[in-house]
Structure 1
Amino acid sequence: MEHPHGPYSGTVTTLDNNSEQPGIGPFGVVRDGADQETVTVLIAAFEGWNDAGDAATDTLKLIREQLNAKDVFEVASDDYYDYQYSRPVIRRPLTGEQKLHWPTTRLSKASVPGTNLDVVLLHGWEPSYRWRAFTAELLEQAAALDVDFVIMLGSLLADVPHTRPIPVTLTSDTEELREELDIDAPQYEGPTGIVGVLSHMAALAGFPTLSMWAAVPHYVAQSPSPKAQLALARRLEDLLGMALPLEPVVEDAEAWERGVDELASEDPEVADYVRQLEEAKDTVDLPEATGDAIAREFERYLRRRDDRG
């Protein structure tokens, strides 16, 4: 499959570790880089099968709200959705006026203040049919919006304890990104959702593509899952060199963990199971050096301090 507007001619921006330019990251995003060439990153998340605990779509909604992203495109819902499966929703705001919301997929766009980064946010429902036409239409819009990179967000249920940091796994079909970020190619084989399909088709079309998955504890699968949302948001901060006001999400994540602690304490079998997961997680993490994690946290602190002036 070719790029919708011809073969993709973009190149992956690499990080020069000897660069004197402050704040440069693997995607070419520069802090205080308003005079630099704009880097446009598409960040996508879909409700449904690839969105355990709504962590992926909640992360996207957070970015949209904080950056005040404006809608730039909407797919024709009737072409892709079975309304008996993805039903429209009636809402009544405080005004009392009834509003009908149809399942759809939208693209919105915003600039990140203080950087040379533009983000295109792709938020939607997994389509019911015509997936190839659906992905082709979205990639055509990505090309028209001069997207340089694609980041796919997802969340899945896993055997992880709620008391430990939520694991976030990065994979890429793009060799340059794998080398730059020291990550692996995806190894999964089996049924996939629209996140996997769009990621695959974007890579074939020539877009440098990265997939980011958060692991949600399977025994607390219901939404919301603010701790997984926080893990995804922080990883995006690290990759893109931007600062998001995450204090409300931090508070929600702490309250969520306390709530799960209380529920687990009331059931000895669940409490014992959580302890087993903790031991397994700690055994795996024990040999891992903590220097990188400390460095990332310090970089986040500096970004937020700069944004506060």
Structure 2
Amino acid sequence: MADRLVHIVDDVAELDGVDELTLVLVLDGFLDAGNAAARAAQHLSDLDDGGSVVATFDVDQFHDYRARRPAMSFVQDHYEAYDAPRLAVRLLHDTGGTPYLLLNGPEPDNRWEAFCRAVREVVERFGVTRTVAMGSVPMAVPHTRPIALTSHANDPSLITGESPWRGELRIPSSAQSLLEIRLGEWGHAALGFVAHIPHYLAQLDFPQASASLLEQVEIGGRLTIDLSGLLAEAEDRAVEIARYLEANAELGEVVAALERQYDAFERAEESGSNLLAPDQPLPSGEELGQQFEQFLAGLEGPDDDKSGS
């Protein structure tokens, strides 16, 4: 089954004799608020000029073209430049020359179990010792506070930070999260990080979160990554957002309410008291929706030269 779903390059001499090999995983589509994980994956690829492809998946087996229609160009009287979806594994190198793999592309819409088996073949063919995933979700948090992350793994010894969650949460599944479970069942280490993105920035690029994710990948994947480009993008975005908030006092008040709630939660965590912090209520969903629609419209307006960054 896996042979028909993934094609693996037979001879990758550079990986012969490598004792430890990290596979970085980013599946676009679901866990990517603020485009944080996809931008982080693109940054890794750009640092090594795209690297070299060592495995490709049969996207036709996984992709729902009617649900996520690829773009193409219509030029005057004909079609051209079809942007075909591609799910591939690339061989890259960190800043110290250490080789690692990057599996990136659209999240499979179907056949998740078959996809997991195909990834297992890649892991076992190349001798991957750990898989590190990245993702991001929208949360009611302010952009002016440190980015929180949820770390997870199929082996408790791989967890790099304390979880902000208590008890059990029922959440929508993803191919990426299922893969972590299956790899654990097959005896392969897998871990990952999910960045908490301010929900008013979920539709915009938020490079600060991309940099935070890659900082964790450095630790969990034992890699060294040049983050200077992403950090420069993050500074530009922070200035852009601050400028807009200064000109929109009402929206600034909503963000200030999120800041008060965040700070109250932090104080409650430190003291072990009520984590709901009832003395610092959040703005209503209607207030947030109205204000952040204006926020997005302002950042994506014609006067904003960096809205596509």
- Note the alpha carbon deviations across 1:43-87, whole angstroms, 9 max, x for none: 101111111121101111111221342111111111111111122
1:249-260 alignment runs, 5 A limit: 249-260=230-241
Aligned length: 248
**Identity among equivalent pairs (%):** 24
Tell me how far 1:174 sits from its aligned partner: 0.4
Alignment-derived partner of residue 170 in structure 1 = 151
Q: Against the structure 1 CA distance between its residues 98 and 245, is the aligned structure 2 distance closer, same or farther, given a 3 Å change threshold?
A: farther
- The equivalent of 1:204 in structure 2 is 185
Q: CA RMSD in A?
A: 2.7
Aligned to 2:284: none
Alignment of 1:265-276 (within 5 A): 265-276=246-257
* Corresponding residue of 1:120: 101
1:39–1:118 CA contact under 8 A, matched in 2: no
Give the aligned partner of residue 140 of structure 2: 159
Instruction: Return the letter of the residue paired with 1:72.
Output: V
1:93-172 superposed matches below 5 A: 98-112=80-94, 114=96, 117-172=98-153
TM-score (norm 2): 0.72
| Secondary structure of the structure 2 residue equivalent to 1:123 | strand
Contact 1:77 1:102 in 2 (8 A): no
- 2:72 is paired with a residue whose SS is strand
Q: Which amino acid aligns with 2:61?
A: D
> Judging changes above 3 Å, is the alpha-carbon distance between structure 1 residues 175 and 86 closer, same or farther for their aligned structure 2 residues?
same
Secondary structure in 1 aligned to 2:263?
helix
Residues 264 and 271 in structure 1, CA contact (< 8 A), matched pair in contact too: yes
Compute the displacement of 1:91 (Å): 6.1
Map Cα deviations across residues 5-59 of structure 1 (whole Å, 9 max, x no partner): xxxxxxxxxxxxxxxxxxxxxxxxxxxxxxx953101110111111112110111
Distance 1:191 1:82 in 2: 19
Choose the corresponding residue for 2:53, options 71, 93, 116. 71
From 66, 82, 92, the counterpart of 1:84: 66
3-state SS of the aligned residue for 1:270? helix
Kindly indicate whether residue 41 of structure 2 is the aligned counterpart of residue 42 of structure 1: no
Separation (CA, whole Å) in 2 of partners of 1:91 and 1:127 = 24
Q: State the 1:235 CA deviation.
A: 2.1
1:215 to 196, 200, 204: 196
In the superposition, the TM-score normalised over structure 1's length comes to 0.72
Secondary structure, counterpart of 1:39 in structure 2: coil
Query: Which residue number in structure 2 is paired with residue 301 of structure 1?
Result: none
Verify: 1:282 aligned to 2:263, yes or no.
yes
- Residue in structure 2 matched with residue 52 of structure 1 by the alignment: 33
Within 1, Cα distance between the matches of 2:65 and 2:172?
Answer: 23
Q: What are structure 2's unaligned runs of at least 5 residues?
A: 3-16, 271-309
Higher Rg: 2
8 Å contact from structure 1 (residues 173, 210) kept in 2: yes
- CA 1:58/1:196 → structure 2, altered by over 3 Å: closer, same or farther? same
Give the Cα separation in 2 of the matches to 1:64 and 1:187.
36
Q: What is the CA deviation profile of residues 113-168 of structure 1, one whole-angstrom value per residue up to 9, with x for unaligned ones?
A: 536x4311010111121111112111211211111001111010011111122112
Contact in 2 for aligned 1:107/1:122 (Cα 8 Å): yes
Distance 1:85 1:156 in 2: 21
User: Where does residue 27 of structure 1 map in the other structure?
Assistant: none
**Aligned equivalents of 1:125 and 1:182: distance in 2?**
28
Letter in 2 for 1:163: T
